[in-house]
């Protein structure tokens, strides 16, 4: 239980790939193996049981055949009684002359040859009749021993005859042996004179047991099957392996049945043994075959199946591992990418091409990262440009050159005693400085912005007197003029530009500024439009093109001649989008018109946008 809990606890913490593979193994491999194992064992068992069931029946039949045959053989001695002459000879006890004995011997031997050894009884190898000290015989096979007749006589003399029943004598019970390789037994039968109720002698018939071969080979052709016949004592009378004839089957006493079949693993290899015991003589016919031979075909199927299954398991496991990896690899990559994103690196791309959920996830991740990246980029650059623009605007406001010129002009006015002019100029300059310094917000009301440029131009007018003329026209109602807002310092850089280039070439520069509300084709609503027109030198085509390119890019390429224009444009685009910004119209030698277009923005919107 502890193990189980620990295992369960551990399993939860294992990687998905591990879990997937284990699940696969549990769901696929184990049922597959179980199925194969169970079906194989059941099949092998049923084969064994089938054979175990029909083999005893065969044996029963075969044993009955053997018994019947032996019975027939045991009745062979009765044929002696068919001949009166034979009975007469057998009943004779003494002879007067040797020739009389020899005549009987001849008659008897030829009768035995006629009746037993030649002709019908193919199984009879020899007959031996011992009667009143005489030995009559006829044999197809000789004995190995030379003094066989004495030994045979000794044997027969030693056997206590009980009744007149025929008895089967195994070759090793007797001291003599036939000069042959075939299995044989002797049938021993006392010859009794039923009429006189006397014993006339003994008959021994040597019987070839090869007929059992014919009987058993009818139903068993497998070379590795062993068949044997043994007496009830376990002594083997007949065996397909001739060397075992005469030995004793030691295992016989341990057989669980003598009529049936059983599986034994006592011997190696394990065998299926079927036995049948004949009811009369008690002979046991045994059939033994290695289990392997029975299930040979099954084993082949099993081995092939096992190898195929192992192959399938290997291949499918490989596929399963591959699959789980292909599933978890993007996840792992995602997690590592997320870590690097966490560290601040947004330059990542999750390379997953698949169209499944993982692919969707990867694409969503990619688009999320790129969106984040873009947003960062945008905010970052807008911030920088605004800062730069503000810095520039700040710099222009407190332009030392402008300050110096203005102060010099004031100084000259003081010398000339034009007190009223001095007061105006100082007032204007003060107001300009206050506008620049005090107001921290990025946007100001249109009125303030226009007032600021008006102050600037007025100061320049004091300085250049008749060389500068300007006109400011307000083409909107006062309320809008005071409540609508505009980015700060968008007019001064443009006006500065006009004065700078205009005074270089013109004796008298005229600047015209208008503030109006117009319908904008690009924004689709009413916008605020500032127009700054001068009669300066204009801009030639080449420069104009460059300028327009720079305005479109909204980039900063150093502080060139038109930095002021570009900065204003960039700030407006960054704050209000590409629909707004600067437009230039210029005719060389006649003048330039700069149109600044901004959306109508109320103060509160600005405040919230500014944050």
Partner 1 sequence: MFRIFAIFLAAALLMTACDSSTSKGYELIYSMEPESSAEAKPPAETSGPPARYQVAFVPKVGNDYFMYAAEGAREAAEDLGIDLLYREPASADAELQIEIVEELIERQVDLIALSANDPDKLVPILRRAMDEGIEVVTWDGDTQAEGRRFFVNMVDPEVLGRHLLDTLALTMGEEGKFAIMTSSFSAANNNEWLKWIKVQQQQYYPDLELVTTVTTDDVTERAYEAAKQLLADYPELDGIIGNSSVAPPVAAMAVKEAGKLGRVKVVGLSNPNLMKEHLLDGSAQMSTLWSPKKLGYLTIQLANDLLNGKLPVDGREIDGVGNIRVNGDMVIMGEPLDFTAENVGQYDF
Quick one: which of 5, 98, 157, 194 contacts partner 1 (CB under 8 A)? 194
In contact, 322 and 339? CB cutoff 8 Å:
no
Structure tokens belonging to residue 207: 């019987």
In contact, 443 and 488? CB cutoff 8 Å:
yes
Work out the number of other CB atoms within 10 angstroms of the CB of residue 20.
Answer: 17
- Between the two ends of the chain, the Cα-to-Cα distance in Å is 63
The side-by-side arrangement of strands in the sheet containing 443-445 is 443-445, 484-487, 601-602
Quick one: which of 256, 282, 411, 577 contacts partner 1 (CB under 8 A)? 256
Rounded Cα–Cα distance for residues 472 and 579 (Å): 25
For residue 195, what are the CA distances in angstroms to 91, 160, 163?
11, 22, 15
C-alpha 66: how far from its chain's center? 63
Is residue 159 part of the contact set for partner 1 (CB under 8 A)? no
Quick one: which of 47, 64, 79, 87 contacts partner 1 (CB under 8 A)? 87
Structure tokens belonging to residue 239: 């065996």
CB of 7 to partner 1, least distance (A): 11
Structure tokens belonging to residue 158: 């030693």
Rounded Cα–Cα distance for residues 36 and 24 (Å): 18
Is residue 138 part of the contact set for partner 1 (CB under 8 A)? no
Q: Which is nearer to partner 1, 16 or 394 (CB)?
A: 16
Quick one: which of 4, 5, 197, 401 contacts partner 1 (CB under 8 A)? 197
DSSP 161: P
Quick one: which of 236, 291, 490, 532 contacts partner 1 (CB under 8 A)? 291
Rounded Cα–Cα distance for residues 445 and 447 (Å): 5
Interaction residues for partner 1, span 36-65 (CB under 8 A): 37, 41, 44-45, 48-49, 52-53, 56-57, 60
In contact, 330 and 362? CB cutoff 8 Å:
yes
The side-by-side arrangement of strands in the sheet containing 468-475 is 468-475, 509-519, 526-534, 591-599, 581-587
Quick one: which of 95, 219, 255, 481 contacts partner 1 (CB under 8 A)? 255
CB of 370 to partner 1, least distance (A): 36
Is residue 303 part of the contact set for partner 1 (CB under 8 A)? yes
CB of 195 to partner 1, least distance (A): 4
Q: Give the chain's length.
A: 611
CB of 13 to partner 1, least distance (A): 14
Query: Beta-strand (E) ranges in 441-572?
Result: 443-445, 468-475, 484-487, 509-519, 526-534
Q: How many residues bind partner 1 (CB under 8 A)?
A: 58
Is residue 500 part of the contact set for partner 1 (CB under 8 A)? no
Helix (H) or strand (E) holding 136: strand 134-139
In contact, 66 and 229? CB cutoff 8 Å:
yes
Is residue 326 part of the contact set for partner 1 (CB under 8 A)? no
Structure tokens belonging to residue 67: 């018994």
Angle at 376 between CA 375 and CA 382, to 5 degrees: 90
Structure tokens belonging to residue 12: 């939860």
Structure tokens belonging to residue 363: 């694409």
Q: Which is nearer to partner 1, 100 or 270 (CB)?
A: 270
Cis preceding-peptide flag for 269 (omega within 30 of 0): yes
Quick one: which of 163, 355, 400, 524 contacts partner 1 (CB under 8 A)? 163
CB of 66 to partner 1, least distance (A): 17
Q: Which is nearer to partner 1, 84 or 479 (CB)?
A: 84
Is residue 603 part of the contact set for partner 1 (CB under 8 A)? no
Interaction residues for partner 1, span 353-412 (CB under 8 A): none
Quick one: which of 30, 375, 398, 437 contacts partner 1 (CB under 8 A)? 30
Quick one: which of 13, 146, 181, 195 contacts partner 1 (CB under 8 A)? 195
CB of 21 to partner 1, least distance (A): 5
Quick one: which of 309, 334, 447, 503 contacts partner 1 (CB under 8 A)? 309
Angle at 545 between CA 541 and CA 549, to 5 degrees: 170
CB of 609 to partner 1, least distance (A): 57
DSSP 244: G
Is residue 262 part of the contact set for partner 1 (CB under 8 A)? yes
Is residue 224 part of the contact set for partner 1 (CB under 8 A)? no
Is residue 198 part of the contact set for partner 1 (CB under 8 A)? yes
Q: Which is nearer to partner 1, 110 or 257 (CB)?
A: 257
CB of 377 to partner 1, least distance (A): 44
C-alpha 32: how far from its chain's center? 15
CB of 555 to partner 1, least distance (A): 56
Q: Which is nearer to partner 1, 293 or 593 (CB)?
A: 293
Quick one: which of 187, 236, 245, 272 contacts partner 1 (CB under 8 A)? 272
Structure tokens belonging to residue 596: 């600044």
Quick one: which of 261, 406, 443, 497 contacts partner 1 (CB under 8 A)? 261
Quick one: which of 140, 167, 235, 263 contacts partner 1 (CB under 8 A)? 263
Residues that bind partner 1 (CB under 8 A): 17-18, 21-22, 25, 29-30, 33, 37, 41, 44-45, 48-49, 52-53, 56-57, 60, 81, 84, 87-88, 91, 163-165, 192, 194-198, 254-266, 270, 272, 279, 291, 302-303, 306, 309-310, 313, 317, 321
């Amino acid at each position: 239980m502890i193990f189980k809990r620990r295992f369960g606890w551990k399993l939860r913490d294992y990687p998905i790939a591990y879990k997937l593979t284990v699940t696969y193994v549990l769901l696929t491999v184990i049922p597959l193996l179980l199925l194969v194992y169970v079906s194989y064992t059941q099949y092998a068992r049923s084969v064994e049981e089938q054979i175990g069931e029909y083999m005893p029946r065969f044996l029963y039949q075969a044993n009955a055949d053997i018994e019947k045959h032996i019975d027939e053989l045991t009745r062979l001695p009765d044929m002696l009684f068919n001949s009166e002459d034979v009975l007469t000879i057998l009943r004779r006890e003494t002879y007067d002359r040797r020739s009389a004995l020899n005549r009987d011997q001849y008659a008897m031997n030829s009768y035995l040859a006629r009746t037993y050894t030649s002709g019908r009884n193919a199984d009879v190898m020899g007959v031996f009749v011992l009667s009143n000290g005489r030995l009559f015989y006829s044999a197809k096979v000789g004995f190995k021993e030379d003094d066989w007749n004495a030994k045979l006589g000794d044997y027969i003399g030693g056997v206590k005859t009980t009744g007149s029943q025929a008895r089967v004598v195994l070759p090793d019970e007797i001291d003599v042996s036939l000069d042959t390789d075939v299995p044989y037994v002797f049938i021993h039968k006392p010859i009794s004179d039923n009429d006189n109720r006397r014993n006339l002698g003994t008959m021994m018939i040597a019987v070839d047991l090869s007929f059992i071969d014919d009987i058993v080979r009818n139903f068993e052709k497998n070379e590795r099957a062993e068949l044997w016949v043994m007496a009830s004592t376990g002594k083997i009378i007949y065996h397909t392996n001739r060397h075992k004839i005469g030995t004793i089957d030691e295992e016989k006493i341990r057989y669980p049945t003598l009529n049936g079949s059983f599986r034994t693993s006592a011997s190696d290899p394990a065998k299926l043994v079927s036995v049948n015991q004949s009811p009369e003589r008690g002979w046991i016919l045994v059939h033994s075959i290695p289990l392997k031979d029975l299930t040979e075909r099954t084993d082949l199927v099993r081995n092939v199946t096992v190898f195929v299954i192992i192959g399938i398991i290997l291949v499918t496991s490989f596929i399963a591992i591959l699959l789980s990896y292909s599933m978890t690899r993007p996840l792992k990559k995602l997690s590592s990418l997320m870590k690097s994103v966490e560290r601040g690196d947004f330059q990542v791309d999750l390379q997953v091409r698949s169209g499944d959920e993982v692919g969707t996830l990867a694409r969503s991740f990619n688009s999320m990262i790129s969106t984040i990246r873009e947003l960062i980029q945008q905010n970052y650059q807008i911030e920088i440009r605004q800062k730069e623009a503000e810095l520039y605007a700040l710099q222009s406001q407190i332009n030392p050159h402008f300050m110096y010129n203005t102060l010099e002009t004031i100084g000259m006015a003081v010398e000339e005693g034009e007190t009223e002019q001095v007061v105006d100029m100082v007032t204007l300059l003060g107001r300009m400085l206050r506008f620049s310094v005090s107001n921290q917000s990025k946007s100001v009301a249109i009125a303030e912005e226009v007032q600021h440029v008006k102050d600037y131009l007025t100061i320049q007018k004091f300085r250049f007197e008749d060389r500068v003329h300007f006109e400011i026209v307000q083409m909107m109602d006062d309320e809008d003029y005071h409540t609508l807002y505009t980015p700060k310092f968008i007019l001064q850089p443009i006006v500065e530009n006009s004065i700078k280039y205009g005074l270089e070439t013109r004796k008298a520069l005229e600047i015209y500024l208008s503030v109006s509300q117009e319908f904008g084709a690009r924004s689709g609503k009413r916008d605020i439009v500032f127009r700054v027109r001068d009669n300066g030198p204009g801009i030639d085509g080449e420069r104009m093109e460059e300028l327009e390119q720079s305005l479109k890019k909204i980039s900063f390429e150093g502080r060139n001649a038109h930095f002021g224009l570009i900065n204003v444009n960039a700030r407006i685009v960054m704050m209000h989008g590409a629909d707004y910004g600067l437009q230039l119209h210029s005719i060389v030698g006649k003048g330039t018109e700069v149109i600044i277009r901004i959306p109508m923005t109320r103060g509160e919107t600005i405040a919230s946008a500014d944050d």
